[in-house]
Structure 1
């Protein structure tokens, strides 16, 4: 059920009229009809294709000349169903009435609309972007989870239903599903993409991210979405890579660690210098502080909705909400301080060791079997806690054909270098 749909190639084909927008939508509709019943990545929508064709007709009438077309002219995109989109309800994977959750269109969505993108539709999310999964299955093997909470977005991109889809990450909801689905997942530095118009999970940690199949397309998406993007020349020197040795890395499974060491060896054979550096000695404390912060802010965010619609929440979300009510103000403050301190500590380690990027497994291992859970985000948590930019890259498969991923992290605010270096790293993997 995997199908090639690289964003950079799609952009070029549509803008240059190698394929018309109408022809491309016909192809997408056929692909959705063939694959979607097996993976359930999209939120059902009755008039999807008439809506899309009307939007395509308007776009084509406004930009008949290729030279005037915006950068994402005619590109269909998926939007995680916690983003508000004009004309589409927001359910957030819950049973809370959509009219109660309604809000103004997401700034990020509006940015891509203005860049010429068409909204394929809402993609399935775990309830309120936490852990209660939706029905989505992994396109590589429907018996396995696609990850979460951005499950539908990752599965839709991997299956070639759209070449770009939005996700969010509060713990590991972009990097992990990207790894499980064998695609690229970008989580920019905290705050570089506006969260306006997105239902929050944990406002002080929520990151807007996205998925593509290709690093070239990921660079296009980052340049359009990230505030104050600074174009860089193609890098001439390879970055020095750092492996965070210690208790953090030991959280991966035996298979995950074995695969990661193979990835490191592959990069070394390709000419990369790799340094092994002690890091995250307090990983249990970092995990605890982050999870308590998530619970506390989730409880505060959802207090009013849950009070009015308690039956609209699954047990997993209710448990988090109740846990969050027990977190003290002092613990919340300590967790927020922890984020700044961890970021500074990682920067100091990078400077002292002379490394440019950290590399680590994108997940403890390949996608677990079953869709009743979305997998463990523990390998993503400290990078999210620190707010560093990360890109998850496809890194081969297991003997069973399940994808594996490599996670790269750069200093805070250096998203441009991260995306520039990602191309060669991905090729080397």
Structure 2
């Protein structure tokens, strides 16, 4: 099965119609993994025979006329901070090497109930923070794939699997999707339960998805039943372009790509400036994240000599955060949510960068997540739309942000944007 025909939605249709089998789809993915994995390193745990056995069970159920869910036979990769009862979940750290959960995370259970084949566990950074894992960018092995959902983004970008699960606390879905050039959705905070997912900062943690197309993202959202269906767009959406105070730090290639896109959009997109009172949003996010990390990773703190210096620093700062500082940051987050509510009463979505440019060279860092920070803090949905490229052909992160709870509508707007702007 070629990369172009290996999307989740296409695979689901082919399996349901009998045109192909779940086993063949899984075997195609495994062939691709054997071809690309040595250079990419997207997988933390993979048992080919276990994946094939799951696929055969799907085929037997279909052939017997049993109930088939919307993801029946579709392979999915799972970020290795999300519990799986039949596979290790090691959380990206030697502290939890060999960890075997007793049960699936709720979102994994829901994927299985929808018929998905859990192909394996994808690489995460250390405890879903900043210290990189082994994964390389499949478009250029000298560049980072981003993080912390590095393996999930790279696996989809390399054509190893059509869908993969990730999480985002700051920029861990949108940033790697931008660097690897794949579609991704970071849903509204709280839309999907975090039961069985590593708690880093529950005020911010969000389960998200990577796919080969917007259709794939719509499919998995619909299969999970946690998102209100969206009606077709009755008119062209009104878009707000937000530079944020970070704009001067962006790369020239990104600024040129956005200028060209905005020219094509014309009157369908107007500029909106983040109010000065909300500019501490980045500091508020850091305060909340580090304080909550310090509490939820307190067991890991007892073995901090086994953690990276960057994570030790985050946990140390979090342990020193005052109750006043934490509550002030939470109040600021609420002010940001209120301000965005006013924006979305006028505009249908916000257009803004998801990255500062192309994936940085080197594997020591996962890149800067700051363009994702205010939207993660506000808990609103965001998606990466891989429309923009540098002159060298590397993807540039284009982030589309929607109103809280309007996840499926945001995907419809993203589809309109793809048609309106084109490659």
Does residue 1:385 correspond to 2:383, yes or no?
Answer: no
- Counterpart in the other structure of 1:316: 310
TM-score by length of 2: 0.94
The residue correspondences of 1:182-331 to structure 2 (distance < 5 A) are 182-225=181-224, 227=226, 229-268=227-266, 273-282=268-277, 284-307=279-302, 309-331=303-325
SS in 2 for 1:324: helix
Deviations 1:360-394 (A, max 9, x none): 01111110011110110111100111111111100
Stretches of structure 1 that go unaligned for 5 or more consecutive residues are none
Give, in whole Å, the separation in 2 of the partners of 1:42 and 1:100: 16
Give, in whole Å, the separation in 2 of the partners of 1:288 and 1:143: 31
Give, in whole Å, the separation in 2 of the partners of 1:56 and 1:164: 15
Give, in whole Å, the separation in 1 of the partners of 2:31 and 2:57: 22
Give, in whole Å, the separation in 2 of the partners of 1:364 and 1:15: 41
User: Which portions of structure 1, spanning 4 or more consecutive aligned residues, are displaced by more than 6 angstroms?
Assistant: none
CA contact (8 A) 1:131 1:148 kept: yes
Deviations 1:4-37 (A, max 9, x none): 3322212111221222122222211211110000
Deviates more, 1:49-58 or 1:245-254: 245-254
- Counterpart in the other structure of 1:82: 81
CA contact (8 A) 2:175 2:372 kept: yes
Stretches of structure 2 that go unaligned for 5 or more consecutive residues are none
SS in 2 for 1:239: coil
- Counterpart in the other structure of 2:118: 119
Give, in whole Å, the separation in 1 of the partners of 2:203 and 2:310: 21
Structure 1 pair 138/3, CA: closer, same or farther in 2 (3 Å)? farther
- Counterpart in the other structure of 1:8: 9
TM-score by length of 1: 0.93
Give, in whole Å, the separation in 2 of the partners of 1:244 and 1:397: 19
SS in 1 for 2:403: coil
- Counterpart in the other structure of 1:179: 178
CA contact (8 A) 1:193 1:226 kept: no
CA contact (8 A) 1:247 1:280 kept: no
- Counterpart in the other structure of 1:348: 342
- Counterpart in the other structure of 2:36: 35
SS in 1 for 2:160: coil
CA contact (8 A) 2:284 2:333 kept: no
Give, in whole Å, the separation in 1 of the partners of 2:78 and 2:201: 19
Deviation at 1:103, TM superposition (A): 5.5
Structure 1 pair 44/101, CA: closer, same or farther in 2 (3 Å)? closer
Give, in whole Å, the separation in 2 of the partners of 1:17 and 1:28: 18
RMSD of the TM alignment (CA)?
Answer: 1.9
SS in 2 for 1:237: coil
